[in-house]
Structure 1
Amino acid sequence: MPATINLKLTARLAQLKAALSRRDRVSTNRAVVTLLDEQAPIGEHWKTISHLMQVSGEYTLALRAIDAFIASAANPAMARYSKVVLLTQAHRQQDAHDLLIQLPENVPDRAGHAYVLGNIALTLGHSDAARGHLLNALEHRPGWGPAWLSLASTGNLAEDRMAEQMLAEAAAAERQGPADLARYCYARGKLHADRKDPAAAFSAYLRGAALLKSETPYSRDANAANALSAMTGFDAEFFKRMQTHATADTDRPIFVTGLPRSGTTLVEHILASHSQVQDGGELNVIQHVAVTAGGVSGHAIDQYLAGGGTLIALGDLYLHLLTERAGSAGRIVDKTIDASRYLGLIATIFPNVPLIWMQRDPLDNAWSCFRTFFIHGVGWSFDLDDIAHHFELEAKLMAFWKRRLGDRLLIVPFADMVGKPALWTSNIISHCGLGEEDAVHTPHLNKRRVSTASGLQVRRPINTDGLGVAEPYRSFLRPFTDAIANCTGPIDARGSI
């Protein structure tokens, strides 16, 4: 490489490093674009840059960088597999599938190849194809927890012939590391639950949760401090004061929050069945806006504005990152986990967007969280006492935001939603400023991708099967019920305190 080119490249990389250290998004993106436009010969470093862009929500640049990595890779097949992974993270499952089937079956290895195909098929709603791919993965890696966990979500295992195969592969599963063994335990819990054996099911879930808890840092104090910060600085006059600042004139995002497993995916599925709405999922975009604003409290917003920041800029950042993830068409459902912690920021920068909060019977919700393997790790879900503590925090947040936001925040009780779906579907559609359409009343016919643990349930007609699911496990859930009884205020099925 000529010395002049080398010096120029060194300068470009120094600019990128400096922008990253300042957390300057605009300058970072500009530096990456320059490197891409100049086709900088940085080889493996393109993969690192792609990851940095993906983490910051800049998927257009992440994909351009991964293509640059592929163009310079010594092993193009493995490099293209890196793009498959990125496409799944960008919720572009069909594109990921189409690229993966072009690669040799041993990329990254035969089990991994089949496993990814199976999970893509599952997300797209193709259960039979998913089962075939996942069973193929297990032929190459018997007892593999991730494959068994995905298989367990494809249907009822009570009389399925693969159930005996799962039990027969227990010894192989025990030879895995803690994370994969935990997944096998959750799958085995699902098998025993389908067979209506509460003791065996709870034992399997308990072991899986214990394995994950040992690997996942979690602090009740940090969780409580985060919840308190989310409610700090929003006095009764806060939003009135914010009306003096210009904001983004948009209703494009629709925020759906509530505890995991409370029915948020069902509401998303209903909304995404409307012709004007696209699904978004757990976008995790608002957290980038919070970083720019300096926090989620009212005080942080005031300080950001006092320092010269604008609500327009915050809104534009969110909308830019929303488009990066979901495209530019239609309204988008954002059901980011823990959006309750960002609700003050959301309501401030987007005074026109609808807000929906799902509530479910606490015991049913607690059991559903405890038995669910959350792919991104939800630290409080591995311990029944921690679940109770987190539920109390969320109940206080809901009560606080209902007082501050009034009718702008629609609270939807899950039991009422599934008991009177026509009424509540109309309420939700009206709250979001949408016109009635027949499709929203038959959301199970919507063939969209669903990447959450509720994927199987929402592909069925709305039903009441989710009510009372914890009752067979009530005696095992005493740590939760005892802890809830000792909360600072009782929590009912609607989350009131």
Structure 2
Amino acid sequence: MQAPSDAIPVPDALAYARRLIGSDPTRALAQVREVISVTPHVGEAHRLAALVLRRLGRVAEAEDADLEAVRMAVHDPDMLTAAQAMLANELHIAEPILKGRLKAEPTDCAAIRMLAELAARIGRLPDAEHLLRRVLELTPGFGAARANLATVLYKQNRFADAVAELDNVLTDDPDNAAHSNLKAAALGRIGGYDEAIALYEELTQRFPDHAKLHMSHGHMLKTVGRQEDSIAAYRAALAVQPGLGEVWWSLANLKTVRFDETDVAAMEAALGDPAISVEDRFHLHFALGKAAEDAKDWAASFGHYAQGNAQRKAQIDYDADDISRHVKHVIDSFTPEFLAARAGVGHDAPDAIFILGMPRAGSTLIEQILASHSMVEGTMELPDIPSIAMREGRDHGDVPGSWVAAVRDMPAERLAELGAEYLARTRVQRKSDKPFFVDKLPNNWLYSGLIHLILPNAKIIDARRHPMDCCFSNFKQHFAQGQAFSYALDDVGRYYADYVRLMQHIDTVLPGRVHRVIHEALVADPEAEVRRLLDYLGLPFEEGCLRFHENARAVRTASSEQVRRPINRDGMDRWRHYAPWLGPLETALGDVLTAYPQVPPLR
């Protein structure tokens, strides 16, 4: 046998063991284990032991050796430097260290996992997923990597896949509240509300002092229409953490809660605390804006909305020109000739009904009406069309509308494949055998041309609301995610104008393809507008569509409580009270504002 490993440098001893693997793996393993007995903190030795054990068919022992190598990373100076750089968000320092490490040690699972985290942080989620799957291929028992994979899948809107990975994680670590919380959130995104609520009830009992668990519980209860229970959950969160701004905003966002003087005083006290986070601060401003609005103190209300929006906008990277360029790219490309050359392609299934347009334009109301029909299933705001578009456009440059170039180069069969993929991806959301289902993602207006090409028999409904009413409603609504255009009056006005410009183009090149529902007309004469809508869809009229507020289905959007009431004018024309401060919005809207049908004056 080779001389004791402490008699020669460790690298030489390990190099000798590597040379033995092919000819004498048993002797190689003995050599590696001798190194480990003398220097147990050398991760490379454990990785080499895993390699030899796999060669010998001892898979379980090999996995244990891989996990031990991961644990030894804390003793490695290079890995410590990389970890400290990641902690400081100095990714430019961490990346070359990790890549250099993997060039020398391609199976270093700790380094692969850290590189996956780096990829996820810069938004390269598919790359992060690939790296994490490589880790789990090498070390299936690496629970932290599997949990990371579940998070990456969740962020890619692959919620069912995330649940499957979390089930594996929780089998080994059943008491991990963070993993259970993520599983409950993922279940909520695929309609598993009962299981999600049961999980939250268990978690809030086990961790009663965890305010955000109570908050998440409240979100889920609100979704299924248990409003009083959701309010109780939100109040439980505030009892633990009175300054948690998102909870105050969640109460305000129910639209039916009226804050009393005690509530307002508590919010103002929290806002006056210099230690609260920026996130808490802007949520509190939005909630106080709603409180002042209910009290008809319009100046104070606008002041809070303006401050909340300014603070939120400072945190995001949004350029209104990107949307304008995206729209121009679609208009320039989706010409009559382009569309005629692709007539008859795509997947021929008629199942999907897309409701798109601006947020806060009445799309949830339309969905609730249609979901009350015996042949239509309501789902939620599905992220699949944007996900498909962004993925297809990835090889055509990281620019707005890059998916258009991808579509331009696609063979006909690829368009049909994308239609089939969309139907497969959304299958998890369908809980009944109804022939049609609703996809109510407002921002799909940007992809209306893509929808037409991949699903030519799908129906497209454009939910349209008065520009001032709609845009100001967006401005005073803090969205949990997305809608970066909504945090400045000029940005939201430009976004609305770009939306109208694209939909006018679609009307021109595909006349009759899109059915438009004017919100004010729907409120004024619900039956006439519902009949027009159902005629477009080729569905018979059903009285249940007019009794949509009796439908107990789950609703995730900010309008969840509003659509559980009969049609009313309560939210209409609110912008008129704020008219003195809305000059930038009017300017940004321009001709779009003057072209919109006149609405009745405020009553």
Out of 414, 419, 426, the residue aligned to residue 310 of structure 1 is 414
What count of residue pairs does the alignment treat as equivalent?
A: 485
Are residue 276 (structure 1) and residue 365 (structure 2) matched?
Answer: no
Q: CA deviation at 1:197?
A: 1.3
List runs of 5+ in structure 2 lacking aligned partners: 1-48, 67-105, 394-400
Out of 351, 374, 396, the residue aligned to residue 456 of structure 2 is 351
Normalized against structure 1, the TM-score is what? 0.88
Measured in 1, the distance between the counterparts of 2:225 and 2:371 equals 15
Tell me the residue number matched to 2:266: 168
Q: Is the 8 A contact 2:255 2:562 kept in 1?
A: no
Summarize deviations over 1:54-80 as a string: whole Å, max 9, x none. Answer: 333433321110111112228434432
Out of 497, 501, 521, the residue aligned to residue 392 of structure 1 is 497
Measured in 1, the distance between the counterparts of 2:598 and 2:207 equals 48
Alignment of 1:269-348 (within 5 A): 269-294=368-393, 299-305=405-411, 310-327=414-431, 329-330=433-434, 331-348=436-453
* 1:382 partner amino acid: Y
Are residue 236 (structure 1) and residue 336 (structure 2) matched?
Answer: yes
Q: CA deviation at 1:471?
A: 1.1
Which structure has the bigger radius of gyration? 2
Tell me the residue number matched to 2:596: 492
Q: Is the 8 A contact 1:364 1:468 kept in 2?
A: yes
Tell me the residue number matched to 2:294: 194
- Residue 373 of structure 1: SS of its match in structure 2? coil
Measured in 1, the distance between the counterparts of 2:220 and 2:188 equals 8
Measured in 1, the distance between the counterparts of 2:422 and 2:568 equals 35
Are residue 401 (structure 1) and residue 500 (structure 2) matched?
Answer: no
Q: CA deviation at 1:144?
A: 1.6
Out of 484, 489, 495, the residue aligned to residue 379 of structure 1 is 484
Measured in 1, the distance between the counterparts of 2:359 and 2:426 equals 21
What is the aligned-residue identity percentage? 28
Q: Is the 8 A contact 2:298 2:577 kept in 1?
A: yes
Alignment of 1:20-169 (within 5 A): 40-73=140-173, 75-105=175-205, 107=207, 109-158=209-258, 160-161=259-260, 163-169=261-267
Out of 526, 551, 554, the residue aligned to residue 421 of structure 1 is 526
Summarize deviations over 1:84-109 as a string: whole Å, max 9, x none. Answer: 23223444332210112123535384
Are residue 203 (structure 1) and residue 308 (structure 2) matched?
Answer: no
RMSD: 3.3
Are residue 258 (structure 1) and residue 351 (structure 2) matched?
Answer: no
Q: Is the 8 A contact 1:261 1:369 kept in 2?
A: yes
Normalized against structure 2, the TM-score is what? 0.73
List runs of 5+ in structure 1 lacking aligned partners: none
Q: CA deviation at 1:33?
A: 12
Label 1:494 to 1:96 Cα distance change in 2 as closer, same or farther (>3 A). Answer: farther
* 2:286 partner amino acid: Y
Summarize deviations over 1:9-60 as a string: whole Å, max 9, x none. Answer: 8989899999x99x998xx79x969969x99212111111112223334333
Segment of structure 1 superposing worse, 212-221 or 234-243: 234-243
Larger RCO: Structure 1 or Structure 2 (Cα < 8 Å, ≥ 6 residues apart)? 1
Measured in 2, the distance between the counterparts of 1:481 and 1:492 equals 13
Measured in 2, the distance between the counterparts of 1:442 and 1:152 equals 26
Higher helix share: 2
* 2:552 partner amino acid: K
Tell me the residue number matched to 1:218: 318
- Residue 442 of structure 2: SS of its match in structure 1? coil
Measured in 2, the distance between the counterparts of 1:111 and 1:299 equals 46
Measured in 1, the distance between the counterparts of 2:487 and 2:535 equals 37
Segment of structure 1 superposing worse, 224-233 or 404-413: 224-233
Label 1:349 to 1:169 Cα distance change in 2 as closer, same or farther (>3 A). Answer: closer
Q: CA deviation at 1:291?
A: 3.2
Measured in 2, the distance between the counterparts of 1:420 and 1:104 equals 45
Measured in 2, the distance between the counterparts of 1:365 and 1:263 equals 9
Q: CA deviation at 1:139?
A: 0.9
Measured in 2, the distance between the counterparts of 1:489 and 1:273 equals 33
Label 1:426 to 1:244 Cα distance change in 2 as closer, same or farther (>3 A). Answer: closer
Label 1:117 to 1:59 Cα distance change in 2 as closer, same or farther (>3 A). Answer: closer
- Residue 105 of structure 1: SS of its match in structure 2? helix
Label 1:303 to 1:11 Cα distance change in 2 as closer, same or farther (>3 A). Answer: farther
Q: CA deviation at 1:419?
A: 0.6
Q: Is the 8 A contact 1:413 1:493 kept in 2?
A: no
